[in-house]
Every structure is written in C-alpha cells, then in structure tokens.
Amino acid sequence: MRDAVTEALAGEEAFLGGGALRDELLGRPVLDLDVVCADPEAAARKLARATGGPPFPLSAEHGGWRVVLDGGRTVDFTPLHGTIEDDLVRRDFTMNALAQPLGGETYVDPLGGRADIESRTIRAVSEHVFDDDPVRLLRAAVFADSLGFRLDPATEQLVRARAGLVARGAGERVLEALAQLGDDGFRLVDELGLLEPLGGSLERLRPGFGPELRLVAVFGDALERLPISNELRRFARTVRRSEPPVDDSPREIHRFRRSTEPWALEALEYLDATPFRRAVEAARAADPAEPLVRGDELGIPPGPEIGRILDAIDEERAAGTIETREEALEFARRNAGAVRGDG
C-alpha cells in the first residue's frame, strides 16, 4: 500500500500518519493507511486510477476521502492543516501524533509520540482534546484495552474530569468505540466514570459474552438510545425478554427456541442458563427439513389461526406426540377450536 500511494502521489507534499505508524512501530499488522495531503479528493482519485479501488468521500465537513483496495484494506486521505507539525498537534494522543513523509524514513514527532509508544503510554496532546471531541474519552479506553497501554496520570485525571462530556459524542462513533471494548475495557470505562453518563452498568456483564451480547448486558434499554441497526435492536429485545426453559424436556426447549431463535444460545448466556445449551443444540440438530403439513392443507379459513395451529403442530412434533402428516391433520381437526379459544 505504501509503495502504491508513494507512486501515485509522486512529487506532492504528503505524509503517512495516524495509527498506521503506531501499529508499525508496535509490530502489529497494518491494514489501513492514513495520508495527510493538501487535496484529499485529488489524491484519492489518483490512487484509485492507479489501483482500480473505488474512491468515495468520508466526510463533507472534514474533507476526508477513502480508497478501498483488495482484501478490505483502505487508504484514507485527510487535509493538511497548516504545516504537518500544526496538523499533528490537533490529534488526540501523542502515540497517534506521528507522521512520515511519503518515500521518506524520518519521523515528524513534535510531541514525543515514539517515546510514549515505547513506554506503552496514552498521553493526551493537550487539555482540550476531549472538549474538541468527546468520543476521544472512549477511544482512550479502547486503546488501553486493545493495545495494553496505560493512561498517564495527567491524562487519566483529565478523562475523569471530562467524563460527563461522553454522552455528547456522535452516536455512531460512540457505538463504534463501545463495540471495540472487551470485558477489561468496559471495566476501565466504568472506573473512569464514562459508563454511567451513557446509561450503562456492569451488573449483568459476565465473562465470555460476545461483542453484541456484551453491549446488551451493559446497556439494556439504554442501548436503543444509540443508533443501532435493526438487527441489533431485534437481537437485544429478544434476548432481554427471554425466560429460561422450565426444564430440558423437548417441549420446553421447543418453546424456548420458538421465542428466541436464531439467538437461543445467546439468550441462554444472557440468562446464565447455559446448562440447557446441550439440549438446545440437540434440538437444532434434530430440526426436520420439511413441515408435516402446510397451512393450505388444514381446511381452515385464512387468518391468524392457521399460524397458531401450525405452531402447535410443530410443538407436538418436537415433543414426540405427532410423527406423521395424517396425525398432524387429525390434530388440526381436533384442536382448531381449542387453539382459537372457543371450545
């Protein structure tokens, strides 16, 4: 990627910066590059012509552009504000306030970022970084969690003092930061005073939760204040409304699955009811490929009763009381009124 960008922007003033240099110094894989230059759109279009990757704007407000390369790699272009030193002191933490001229090897490091990377320290570039962008409060915890860094005392004190600002951050970016946190990261967020302003609590958090279940456990109803996807909303509501099976009988496991699938296993984790996991997995493996009967075979007028009868047949099949198509049709004839509630 570096060679492609250097060739595409030959002769222009441009710098590599941001997390790519940090990760390179840490020996971590670098999948994305950040390039600071005078004209991000023109630079992005030049790289796109050279690589065939599509260019598109990242932000009309900030003037950023991105080119997507093979394998999901990306190159982001952002505008240069004044000199490169002027640009770097606008960043969030010193470890991200590094730059390197395209095609060069020397570092532009006005704030001692390389030393902080070596000591694995997160240091704010100024006292105003969180006032300028409250999401940086969460990013401090994300970096500590993902990189194994520690906040220097002055930065930690500043985070605690500005913690109330976190709820003012852009919802999409707040959610993006929260989704990157593991268990230790959420504990740090809580210790720093950042969790309560967002409506979160660690009371229901347990080890082993996946990223989405972790968000549901920590935020509960408050998760819906954030701009979550419809899929995550359905997942959260399903899991939070679930109740554990009474026992591991086929009938109870079927009823539990009917109310929680495709997230039955996640619901068991949330409910701390994992002893039922084996029964749920066995029921999934035994799911029939085809229903015994279709709705149009029941001889019942169209309406919601057909769905109720089919659900009842599925339950009896799971419980082992119905095995054939004929038994299913007989069950429908006998129970249509009872399922409807009038006999």
- Band (341; pLDDT cuts 50, 70, 90): very low
Q: How far apart are CA 51 and CA 73, in angstroms?
A: 12
Q: Which residues pair with 15 in a beta bridge?
A: 36, 101
Quote the mean pLDDT of the chain: 92
- Secondary structure percentages of the chain, helix, strand, coil, to 5: 55, 10, 35
pLDDT for 302 equals 80
pLDDT for 301 equals 78
pLDDT in tens, 267-324: 999 999 999 999 999 999 999 999 999 988 887 778 788 889 999 999 999 999 999 9
Whether the pTM exceeds 0.75: the reply is: yes
Average pLDDT over residues 83-90: 92
Is the CATH number 1.10.3090.10 carried by domain 120-241? yes
Q: How far apart are CA 338 and CA 332, in angstroms?
A: 10
Please say if the pLDDT value at position 18 is more than 90: no
102 versus 342: the higher-pLDDT residue is 102
Dmax over CA atoms of the chain, in Å, equals 86
Q: How far apart are CA 86 and CA 5, in angstroms?
A: 23
Is the CATH number 3.30.460.10 carried by domain 1-113? yes
- Band (60; pLDDT cuts 50, 70, 90): low
Average pLDDT over residues 234-260: 97
- Band (71; pLDDT cuts 50, 70, 90): confident
Please say if the pLDDT value at position 340 is more than 60: no
Q: Where are the domains of the chain?
A: 1-113, 120-241, 242-285, 295-340
pLDDT in tens, 176-230: 999 999 999 999 999 999 999 999 999 999 998 999 999 999 999 999 999 999 9
Please say if the pLDDT value at position 53 is more than 90: no
pLDDT for 337 equals 61
pLDDT for 146 equals 94
